[in-house]
Chains A and B, each alone.
Chain A
Amino acid sequence: MSDEPEQPASTEGSLEEQLVAYLDGELDSEASRRIEELLATDPKVRQTLQQLDRAWQLLDELDAAPVEDRFTRTTLEMVTLAAAAEVEKCRTEAPRRRRRRWLLAAAGATAAAAAGFLAVVFARPDPNKRLIQELPVLENLDQYCQVSDVEFLRMLCQERVFAEEPENGQ
């Protein structure tokens, strides 16, 4: 963007922009210095600045809006109603929230109990398992008790003395 004053109307917009920003105190020091140089040397620019400033100062003629008590009162009433509506909404939603919380807590407790049960079930050794493994011994326990020597029993086992014969049963 060029601020060169020698250039014609195509930069008039940007010059006016700079003048307005100068009046508003929005130019940096370098840009302000350039504008001030221009103002010192160019009467047309000075006139434009003056008119911009005068038009701006005329806005001071606009009234500040008087405020009636009624406005303040009705505004506060409106907000009080909004606040009351918020409280009522919270109150009607509270039982639902409590119910939801209870259900969640119950579901959580149930899940924890189930997890605990399963953990115990899988972690604890099954006494029945051992019985099942030793069932063949138990089925022939009376016979085994007749023999007091384990080595003799092993020998008998190798001779297949205790092999099951379906027709004979036990």
Chain B
Amino acid sequence: MLEVRDDSATAFEELVLRYQGRLLTVLEHLVGDRDQADDLAQEVFLRVYRARKNYVPWAKFATWLYTIANHVAANAMRNQSRRREVTLQARESGPMGTRPLEVMVQASSGQMPARQLDKAEVRDMVRMSLSALNERQRMAVLLSKFEGMSYADIAAVMELSPQAIKSLLSRARGNLREVLAPYFESGGRPVIGERPLNDEQ
């Protein structure tokens, strides 16, 4: 990053190659849309370039990068009209469909053993469970899980105190546990929308 600060094009290209996958992963799971994640990631790299002279060598680059990403994503989501439905009813696309509900019904009725969800269904279920969190909880979870950031680093990125991050992650993981509990119990679908989730104050 110091070379990028000194206008090295090669260094900037290397930076993009090194961080694009990680950044896209976080952004895609944050906004739930790959195309939007692409746009946001490019905006982030553009801002990194424009702000390169402000980079201080004692700062962790990943923290700086994700601070910019957090701002870009928050602005985008604020501007976006909220038509997303946070529900886990049957989806027309994707592998989940209505089958998981049937699995739960079958499991609870005891008529047949609960079917193990296949990998794609588990992935879809987890993705939907993540979407049940609010944006700040989701961001904190993604930074903790995918970037392995400490509470202090996440606090720096999200401009909150470490104690606030501790509370945020606690609520987020509590919500995930609650949503995924039926999966643990019966291999069925997670239940969202039937029970209120803990929300941050």
Q: Please tell me if A30 contacts chain B, counting CB pairs below 8 Å.
A: no
Distance, CA A65 to CA B32, complexed state (A):
11
Q: Please tell me if B29 contacts chain A, counting CB pairs below 8 Å.
A: yes
**Contact for A26 among B34, B38, B151, B184, CB less than 8 A:** B151
Contact B123 A51 (CB under 8 A): no
Chain A residue numbers with a CB within 8 Å of B176 are 55-56, 58-59
CB distance from A127 to the nearest CB of B (A): 62
- Encoded as 1 (CB less than 8 Å from any A CB) or 0, chain B from 31 to 49 comes to 0001001100110011001
By beta carbon, the residue of chain A nearest B152 is: A26
Contact B170 A17 (CB under 8 A): yes
Q: Please tell me if B17 contacts chain A, counting CB pairs below 8 Å.
A: yes
CB distance from A91 to the nearest CB of B (A): 16
Binds B, one of A36-44, A71-79, A98-106: A71-79
Distance, CA A71 to CA B13, complexed state (A):
12
Q: Please tell me if A61 contacts chain B, counting CB pairs below 8 Å.
A: yes
Q: Please tell me if A137 contacts chain B, counting CB pairs below 8 Å.
A: no
Contact A16 B41 (CB under 8 A): no
Known: A51-B184, A54-B184, A83-B49. A72 touches B145 (CB 8 A): no
CB distance from A19 to the nearest CB of B (A): 8
Q: In the complex, which of the residues A76, A82, A83 has the most CB atoms of chain B within 10 Å of its own CB atom?
A: A76
Distance, CA A75 to CA B45, complexed state (A):
7
CB distance from B113 to the nearest CB of A (A): 20
Distance, CA A58 to CA B187, complexed state (A):
13
Contact A55 B24 (CB under 8 A): no
Known: A62-B127, A67-B20. A52 touches B49 (CB 8 A): no
Could you tell me which A residues sit within 8 Å of B by CB distance? 13, 16-17, 20-21, 24, 26, 48, 51-52, 54-56, 58-59, 61-67, 71-72, 74-76, 78-80, 82-83
